[in-house]
């Protein structure tokens, strides 16, 4: 990371032009969840519940992506870190294709955003490669979109705008596939 204090040596270190100084297109509010591709949700339960101690929340099928998704939470209920385990329901699922190529494992990181449609428009205009130019439906009524992994240094990046339902507990509604 540029401008890292660890590497700053003396007065020549300049605080100018850090990435944070550039107007932020995504303006992520936080990490919404971490997506993990698995062959079988059932086979993963023991690890996530008994080994990690994560709380199982629910399973939802997202037909548009041909996946079953299990959600786990860690930490305080109102500010939990969520894990989204994705199991393909068809060989045509993008998750099945991912597992075939790269095996099970980390699939994507999702960031909470507001105004996802406006963000995508601004990203597109800025020349950032997108998988989804328009938001689509994720789990729990959220709106989601993926940036191209080549636009985000090899990490598949999801933007997630949780469903607004009148309370401020957006994080618990922010799951997406």
Judged by CB under 5 A, the number of residues near Zn ion is 5
Task: Show the site string, 45-84: x = touches Zn ion by CB under 5 A, - = not.
Answer: ---------------------------------------x
Stretch in the footprint of Zn ion (CB under 5 A) among 15-23, 55-63, 74-82, 105-113: 105-113
Number of neighbours of residue 57 by Cβ within 10 angstroms = 16
**CB-side neighbour CA atoms (13 Å) of 59:** 11
Q: CA-based diameter of the chain, in Å?
A: 58
Beta-strand (E) ranges in 18-76?
Answer: 30-37, 55-62, 67-74
| Interatomic CA distance for residues 125 and 143, integer angstroms | 20
Could you give the CA distance from residue 41 to residue 70 in angstroms, rounded to a whole number? Answer: 7
- Which of 37, 99, 110, 147 is in the footprint of Zn ion by CB under 5 A? 110
Indicate whether 94 belongs to the interface with Zn ion (CB under 5 A).
no
Least separation in angstroms between residue 174's CB and Zn ion is 9
Nearer to Zn ion, 21 or 75 (CB): 75
Nearby residues of 149 by Cβ (< 8 Å), 6 or more positions away:
155, 156, 157
Tokens at residue 140, please?
């729990």
35 lies in the binding site for Zn ion (CB under 5 A) = yes
Residue nearest to Zn ion (CB): 35
Shortest distance (Å) from residue 115 CB to Zn ion: 19
Binding segment (CB under 5 A) for Zn ion, from list 13-21, 32-40, 113-121, 165-173: 32-40
Whether the CB-CB separation of 112 and 82 falls below 8 Å is answered with no
Name the residue nearer to Zn ion (CB basis): 34 or 128.
Answer: 34
Classified as helix, coil or strand, 153 is: coil
CB of 154 to Zn ion, least distance (A): 17
Q: Which residues ranging from 116 to 155 are in contact with Zn ion (CB under 5 A)?
A: none
The footprint of Zn ion (CB under 5 A) covers: 35, 84, 110, 158, 176
């Amino acid at each position: 990371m540029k401008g890292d204090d660890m590497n700053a040596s003396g007065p020549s270190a300049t605080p100018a032009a850090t990435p944070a100084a550039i107007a932020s297109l995504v303006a992520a509010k936080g990490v919404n969840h971490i997506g993990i591709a698995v062959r079988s949700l059932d086979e993963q339960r023991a690890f996530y519940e008994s080994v990690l101690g994560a709380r199982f929340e629910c399973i939802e099928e997202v037909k548009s992506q041909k996946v079953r998704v299990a959600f786990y939470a860690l930490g305080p209920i109102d500010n939990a870190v969520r894990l989204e385990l994705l199991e393909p329901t068809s060989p045509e699922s993008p998750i099945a294709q991912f597992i075939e190529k790269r095996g099970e494992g980390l699939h994507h990181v999702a960031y909470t955003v507001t105004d996802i449609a406006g963000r995508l428009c601004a990203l597109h205009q800025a020349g950032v490669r997108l998988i989804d130019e328009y938001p689509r439906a994720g789990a729990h009524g959220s709106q989601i979109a993926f940036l191209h992994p080549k636009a985000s240094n090899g990490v598949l990046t999801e933007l997630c705008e949780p469903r607004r339902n009148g309370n401020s507990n957006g994080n618990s509604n922010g799951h997406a596939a």
